A and B are shown apart, each in its own frame.
Chain A
Amino acid sequence: MRFARALLPLALLVACSSEPRPRPPGVLFVSVEQQSAWVRNFNPLFAGAGARWPTRAGVYECMEIFSSAQGKWVPWLATGHAWSEDQRTLRFTLRDGVLWSDGKPFSADDVVFTFGLLKQHPALDAGGVWRFLTDVKAEGQGTVAFTFSRVYLPGFSDLAHQIIVPRHVWKDVADPVTFTNPEPVATGPFTQVTLFRNQVYELGRNPHYWQPGKPAVSALRFLAFPTNDQANMALVEGEVDWAGNFVPAVDRTFVSRDPAHHARWFPLYGSTVFLYPNTTRPPLDDVRVRKALSMALDRDRLVEVAMYGYTRPADATALNDAYTGWKDPQVAKDAWTHHDLDAANKLLDEAGLTRGADGMRRLKDGQPFALDLEVVSGWSDWVRAGQVVGRDLRKLGIGVTLKTYEFGTWFTRLQRGEFQLAISWSLDGPTPYNFYKWLLSPRTVRPVGEVAAANWHRMGDAQADELLVRFERAGTLEEQHALMSQVQQRFSATAPAIPLFPNPSWGESNSLRFTGFPTEQNPYARLAPHAEPDSLLVLTELTPRER
C-alpha cells in the first residue's frame, strides 16, 4: 500500500508531461519496413537484403523507371535508349548535368563500372544480366552500349532498372557484397543521413539533385514499428504521412477518421496469389483434376472472407491489373476459374477418381484422395484463404488438411517441391513475360528435391516455351501482344497452377501535411512505397503544405 501511494504521484508526474510532439515542417514520416531497431545499411547492390528503404529508389537511382500504374517507361538517369538494327546492341543515352551528392559528375564510366561489379560478384547480379550480356562499354561521356549474346528483348528492363553506383567511391570498396555503405554517395533525391539511431533515422536532401527545385520534401523520417498493429496505430493517429501496410477494414479504421486527408489506394498490381498443385504427384499431374479443383472454389467468397474484399477473383489468364493491356478477353472468359461444382465433379469422374460409399473420392489404387495444403503460419489472410479452399475442396469429396509452417520451413518445402498443395505468390515484371515463364517454361522446371526459385508446381509446356522464346525476339508491340495471347491460351489449356486472386498493392497516405500522393484519379505511380522504383516518382512529386 505504501508502495502504491508512492508510485501514483510519480506516475501522474511522468504522465502529465505527455503532449503531442510537434513534427518538423517539411519532414515526411514514412512507414515501410517493419523493424524493432534500425541497422545502418545503405548498400543498394545487394538486392533484397537488409538495406534501408529507400536505398534502391530514393537514395540511388536507375536509368529508366517502369511505372506500372501508367504502363510506360519514364526516362530517369538516361534520357532514352535505342536498339541496334540486329537487336544485339542496346544504347542508353545518359542525362547531362547529373551530379553525385558529393558534387562529382555522373558519367558513362559509372554505369560501366556498376555492371562490371555485377560480373565480378555474381551475388550482386540479381537479375542475372550477365547470362545474356557479353560486354558493356562507354561511348564517350554520355552513351553506354550493352552487347547481347543473343536477341533477348526482355533484358531491357533488367538493365534499365539496375541501380548505378559511383565509380570514384566503390572502386575502393574491398567487398561490395558485405559493404554496409553507411554514408551513401548517390544521385537520388535523398542522400544525406542526417540522423541514425536505433528507433529513428532521417534522410536529408541531395544538395546536388539534378531535378531543379526537387525534392520539395526537406527530409524523410522513419520510425521503427516492429508489427503491423503498431504501424497501423501510428497511421490512424496521423503520426505517419505515407505507409504501405495491410490495414484491416481500412475504410472504417483509417479513411473515415479524416476523409478529407486520409486516403488508401489498393490497386491490384501485386503479384497473383496461386493455389499451387505439385504436378509431379498423381493425380495432380492430370489437367482435368487441376481444373476440377479450380472449379470447386468459390472465389467470390474467398476474396470476401480472406481479403476483406480488397481484391477480385482471378480469371483464367491469372493476370493482375498491371497487365490489363495484355489480357486476352477471350481467354479471360474460360470457365475453369468459375465456381461450378457440377462441372468439377464431372471432371473428376472422367479422371477416374470415383466416389466411395463415404462420399470421399478414391485414387485409382483405391487410396482416399486426400491432400495437405501448406501455408505460412501467421499470414492470416492466406490462412483464411486456405480454410476456404479446404472447405470448398471437401465438397468434391477431397480430404484437405490445412498445415501451417514457419516461413523458412514452408518456403523450403515449396522450393524443393516437397508439398502437395500450397498457397504462394507469383513472379512478375514490366511485361507478363517473366510471369508466364515461371509458370510454364520447361526451362524453369527443377527436379523434386532441388531448390527452384519459382515454378514450384514443376510443370513445363513446350508449346508455351516456344512462344516465350519468340517473344524474347519480338520487336513490335503487335507481335508481342499476339504472342502473349497465345501464351495465355496455353496457360488456360494446361492450367499448371490455380489462380486465386491478384494481390493488392497496399498504400495509404495522409495529405494533411503533404500533397501530391498518387491516387486512383492521378495514377502516376503506385501509392505502395515498397513498389520500387515507383517510390522515386512519388518522392520527387510530394510537396509540403507548410514550409
Chain B
Amino acid sequence: MGRYILRRLGFYLIAAWASLTLNFIIPRLAPGDPAAAMFARFEGKVAPEAMGALKAAFGFTDAPLYAQYFTYLKHLVQGDLGMSYAYFPARVTEVIGTGLMWTVGLAGVAVIISFVVGSFLGVLAAWNRGGWLDSGLAPALAFLGAFPYFWLAMLALYLFGFVLGWFPLRHAYGHDMEPGLSFAFAADVARHAVLPASSIVVATLGGWMLGMRNTMVATLGTDSIRLAHARGLPPRQVMLRYAARNALLPNVTSFGMAVGFVLSGSLLTEIVFSYPGTGYLLILAVRNQDYPLMQGLFLVITLAVLAANFAVDLLCLWLDPRTRAHA
C-alpha cells in the first residue's frame, strides 16, 4: 500500500512538471506582443522613446527560449512568480494574494456543499425511485444546470439583491466592516456569500445528484444489497453503508476534477457579484497578455487540481477495497 501511494505521488510529480512546462510554452506560442499590449494601455501617454526602457523594466528579453525556460524554473523554485504587467509594479504573488483566499473560500465551500447535498439527494432519489425527488427535483435541477451560468447568477442578483434587497449586491464584506475574527464580520461575510455561493450550488447540484442517482440505482440491483436486505439490516444502514458507499466512487473521482472549477470556473460568479477573487484576475491577465500573472494563476490551479486528485486517490483507497487489493 505504501508503494502504491509512492507510485501515485511519482505520477503527480511528473504531471506537475509537465503542466509547468506547458504553462511556460503556451502563452509564448499565442499571437500578440505583450510589450505592445502593455504600451496600449498608456494610450499615447508614453513617448515611443520610453519603450525600450519600459521593456527592460518589465523584463522582456530576447534570450533563447531554453534559457528563458531555465530562468522560469529557477524562479519558480524560489517562489518568485515575477512582476505582473497589468498591475505593474506589483508582484504576481502579491496580486494573486489579494484574491486567492476569497475564491478558495467561496467556491470551495460552494462545491463541497453542492457535492455533499447533491450526492445525498441522489441517494434518496435512487432509494425512493419514482418518488417526487426522483421524477420532480432531479429533472428540475438538471434543467437549471443547463442554463447559462452567468444568467442564473444575474437573475439571483437582480431578484434577491436589487429588487427585494435581501442580500448585498457585491463584494465579500461591507466596506465599513473591520475584517477580523469577530462574529459581526463572519456574519457579514456569510451574508455576502449567500447569493454567489447558492448560484454555484444551484447550477451544479443537478450534476452530482444525477450522477449519484444513476450509480446508486445500478448498485441497488446487485446481489450484495439483496443479501443485506435478506440479513434483515435496517434499511437506512443498507442505503448508506452498503449502497451509497459503493456508489459514491465515480462521484468522488469527479470531485477531484471539480476542484479545478473551484479556482477557474468561479470566474463568472466573481464577475457578476464583484467578488474579489482570482477569476477576474485571470480575465484581466489574458486581456493584457500578462504572462507572469497568467502563469501564476495557472500554477495555482494546476497544483490545486493535482493535490485534490491525490486526495481523491487516497479516499478511493479507503472507500474501495479493490484498489487496496491491487496495491
Contact = CB atoms under 8 A, between A and B. Distances in A.
Bound pair: A and B?
Answer: yes
Interface of A: 3, 11, 14-15, 17-18, 21, 24, 36-41, 43, 46-50, 121-128, 131, 177-180, 197-200, 221, 223-227, 230, 233-234, 406-409, 411-412, 415-416, 425, 427, 438, 451-454
Given A131-B47, A199-B175, A221-B175, A230 B89 contact: no
Interface stretch (B68-76, B80-88, B254-262): B80-88
A180 B90 contact: yes
A225 B273 CA distance: 9
B37 interface: yes
Contact of B43 (A48, A124, A177): A48
B89 A427 contact: no
B111 to A, nearest CB: 16
A408 B291 CA distance: 12
Interface in B63-120: 83-84, 86-90, 94-95, 98-99, 102, 117, 120
A226 B274 contact: yes
Nearest to B36: A412
Contacts of A233: 162, 169
Contact of B57 (A37, A128, A178): A178
A225 B274 contact: yes
A126 B47 contact: yes
A48 B99 contact: no
A131 B44 CA distance: 16
Nearest to A438: B44
Scoring B40, B172, B194 by chain A CB atoms within 10 A of each residue's CB, the highest score goes to: B40
Given A131-B49, A177-B57, A408 B32 contact: yes
A49 B36 contact: no
A41 B90 contact: yes
Given A199-B172, A408-B37, A17 B187 contact: yes
B280 A226 contact: yes
Contact of A17 (B84, B172, B191, B271): B191
B174 A227 contact: no
18 contacts: A3-B117, A36-B274, A39-B90, A48-B45, A122-B49, A122-B50, A122-B52, A125-B50, A128-B47, A128-B48, A131-B47, A177-B89, A178-B88, A199-B172, A223-B171, A408-B37, A412-B33, A454-B44
B98 A198 contact: yes
A412 B190 CA distance: 44
Contacts of A409: 31-32
Contacts of B318: none
Interface string B45-64: 11111111110110000000
Interface of B: 31-37, 39-54, 56-57, 83-84, 86-90, 94-95, 98-99, 102, 117, 120, 162, 165-176, 179, 187, 190-191, 194, 270-271, 274-277, 279-281, 284, 286-289
A230 B169 contact: yes
Scoring A39, A126, A179 by chain B CB atoms within 10 A of each residue's CB, the highest score goes to: A39
Contact of A411 (B37, B46, B169): B37
B288 A408 contact: yes
A429 to B, nearest CB: 9
A11 B89 contact: no
Contact of A41 (B31, B43, B89): B89
B202 to A, nearest CB: 12
Given A128-B50, A180-B90, A47 B42 contact: yes
A224 B276 contact: yes
B87 A47 contact: no
Nearest to B168: A18
B45 to A, nearest CB: 5
A407 B287 CA distance: 6
Nearest to A426: B44
A230 B280 CA distance: 13
Which 10 A-B residue pairs are closest in the complex by CB-CB distance? A128-B47, A408-B37, A48-B42, A36-B280, A427-B44, A122-B53, A123-B53, A15-B166, A411-B40, A178-B89
Contacts of B42: 47-48, 126
A425 B50 contact: no
B162 to A, nearest CB: 7
Contacts of A177: 57, 89
Contact of B50 (A14, A123, A198): A123
Scoring B39, B47, B48, B102 by chain A CB atoms within 10 A of each residue's CB, the highest score goes to: B47
Contacts of A48: 41-43, 45-46
Contacts of B289: 408
Contact of B166 (A18, A46, A178): A18
Nearest to A178: B89
Contacts of B99: 36-37, 198
B47 A127 contact: yes
Contacts of A40: 90
B191 A14 contact: yes
